[in-house]
Structure 1
Amino acid sequence: MTPGQRQALERLWPRYGLDLPDGALDLDQAFGRQAPRTLEIGFGMGDALLALAAAHPQQDFIGVEVYPPGIGSFLLRVEQAGLSNVRVICADAVEVLARHLPAASLDRLLVLFPDPWPKKRHHKRRLVNAAFLDLAARVLRCGGQLHIATDWADYAAAIGEVLQGSPDFAPSPLLADATGRPETKYERRGQRLGHDIHEFRVRRR
């Protein structure tokens, strides 16, 4: 972590950071209002989250990330953009979904280009599986949207299979194209490598 990232994290965390309680977060209290809410898991550089928050000031956005240096850099960008509708959690996403978000508290859940763990022996570490879908279904309201994107073909095949087997999600025809999702750093890298982009948009039954 650079000195600038450390200073940004220390200075801006009280404003934008969410410390996890023993139980569920009070999101209305965290944002000081009631509004539609989107959570992005593993926001990385934060390009998509920042663009969405800037474009939709009437909505609230939460980012979950485990790497403090990236969070420090992102918080600086949030401050520079003058945004008040962004909060950040530094924790494992599975723990956040399982223990710290109220049921039916999200309108949208984004998983954009998660770590593909390309080696076969590491596939068990991949985020998107049946257990993850159970957690996603718990935190999404009825009709809420789950949006997943990857540039790894075998991961995409596995995601499609697990989504098809889930009783909690159905295709979301209202999100049949890629509009409304800003491009990410990892997406651009995949495109440079010649990878196809695979998108999955489903709604909570």
Structure 2
Amino acid sequence: MFFRRLIQLFVGLSLYGVSLALMLRANLGLDPWDVFHQGLSHRLGWSIGTVVNVIGALVLLLWWPLRQRPGLGTVLNVFVIGTAVDVTLKLLPEAHSMTERILLLPCGVALNAVATAAYIGARFGAGPRDGLMTGLVRRTGGSVRVIRTGIELCVLAIGWLLGGSVGIGTVAYALLIGPLVQVLLPILTVPEPRPALHDATAP
């Protein structure tokens, strides 16, 4: 069971990076955090995968004052997703026609939902950005909706000002990712092992 979870974690994180690359090639708008990552990438001259990994590590440092405990999935998130983005972008050619871009966008959003459900369902801990949200909720007593919306609006605004891509893809992601993950998560969650049953007649 442990190895199944580990494989699912790695595949989920890798596919998350692939999904981001698909949305980047679509060039029709990204989710809030990736608007921020793309904007920083433009300003710093780094690959977007490098930015994703570095920001993940910096956000993870914020867990310390929030007394959040990272899991294996949290740590691998910092290394795997950004690397998968850069590798995929090297292999995936630019989309030149609007038809190609329109096809890439729903593929990217759908794959992102599968990837999210897969790595969460592996039960190895939240990603750095989700852990920041849950830590702030616990420390402040605020609602998940308010804190998550506040964080995402902040990174979206900063990313847009830095030159990140905001568009129909941003809206589509915001509307679809929650319902899709909600459907997929029960399917992809690895069940907890059942405790062994002991024979009541055994000595």
Same-fold call, TM > 0.5? no
Higher Rg of the two aligned structures: 2
Q: Which has the higher helix share?
A: 2
* Alignment TM-score, normalising by the size of structure 2: 0.28
RCO higher in structure (CA 8 A, sep ≥6): 2
